[in-house]
Amino acid sequence: MAAAYDTYDYPSYWEGREYEHECEIIAIKAFLTKIKEIDTVLEIGAGYGRLAGTYIYRARKVILSDPSARLLKIAREVYKNQKNIRYIQSGMENLAKKIRRNSIDLVIMVRVIHHLEDPEKAISEVGRMVKNNGYFILEFANKGHFKANIKEFFKGNITFPLDIFPKEIRGRRTRKNTLPFLNYHPDVIKNKLEENGFEIIEKRSVSNIRSPFLKKHLGSELLITISKFLQIPLSYINFGPSVFILARKRA
């Protein structure tokens, strides 16, 4: 069965988005410095391997998983000289059946959970696969980012920051033919992680200066440099549209 991203040119989506890409790399690299030993890494929703070059050098075994056979085929070509990579074509709902319980040192899941209507189930499945004291790098689309709060305030929705329910980004006309796209409240994700046995080690606010105007006039390189120093301070107020969390599974 074809996956949604089989018919979508996802590599082209990232053309011109060097700022967003590099900000995500910064967050992942920073988290990796806090993990001493990694034997096996699993990336869920790895796509064409956009992020894999960030961590493959750290692990003896790497598993790239994605529902799209087309994207995994691209990843195989990109990393054809890497002998330590295993590829699994699977959605989140079936992945746990293909991965042994308590066998993964680090799970990475970036730009995936916004397509899932049941984040708790996904986090629970990750908890099943991760070893005790293993790690989980999770990214989610932040419902309560600064721009969204300002926008809702001027609409007269002053209770928006307190609303914990997910926000569907798709329009009504496109919902039947596209994947869900849900922005989640940071407190909801935090609670789901803790309820499923994870403790949060560090949080980072990512893509904080995602502005076409600033990209054009200041350049992505300068914005990336600035953003590197803003990720932790701005995480305390959940400023950015994307939040990265490093969590550890309690023994």
Tell me the per-residue pLDDT of 157-203, one tens digit each, with 9 for 90 and over: 999 999 999 999 988 777 777 889 999 999 999 999 999 999 999 99
Structure tokens belonging to residue 24: 């995500």
Res 172: pLDDT: 76
Task: Identify any residues that bridge with 244 across adjacent strands, giving them in sequence order.
Answer: 139, 204
**Res 4: pLDDT:** 84
pLDDT reported for residue 1: 46
Residue 2 pLDDT exceeds 70:
no
Looking at residue 30, its amino acid is A
Mean residue pLDDT of the chain comes to 95
Confidence band (pLDDT; 50, 70, 90) for 249? very high
Torsion of CA 65, 69, 74, 80, to 10 degrees: 60
Query: For position 251, what pLDDT does the model report?
Result: 86
Domain span holding position 21: 4-249
Residue 112: per-residue pLDDT: 97
| 181 Cβ contact list (under 8 Å, min separation 6) | 114, 115, 141, 168, 169, 170
CA distance 183 to 120: 14
Burial of 110 (0-12, 13-18, 19+ CB in 10 A): buried
Residue 14 reports pLDDT greater than 70:
yes
Please write the tens of the pLDDT for every residue from 32-86. 999 999 999 999 999 999 999 999 999 999 999 999 999 999 999 999 999 999 9
CATH number of the CATH domain containing 11: 3.40.50.150
Sign of CA dihedral 225, 230, 232, 238: negative
How do residues 118-167 score in pLDDT, each as one tens digit?
Answer: 999 999 999 999 999 999 999 999 999 999 999 999 999 999 999 999 99
* Prediction pTM value: 0.96
Residue with tokens 């949060």: 200
- Number of domains forming the structure of the chain: 1
Residues 6+ apart with CB under 8 A from 208: 23, 227, 230, 231, 234, 239, 240
Contacts of 223 (CB under 8 A, 6+ apart): 19, 209, 214, 215
Dump pLDDT digits (tens) for 96-116.
899 999 999 999 999 999 999
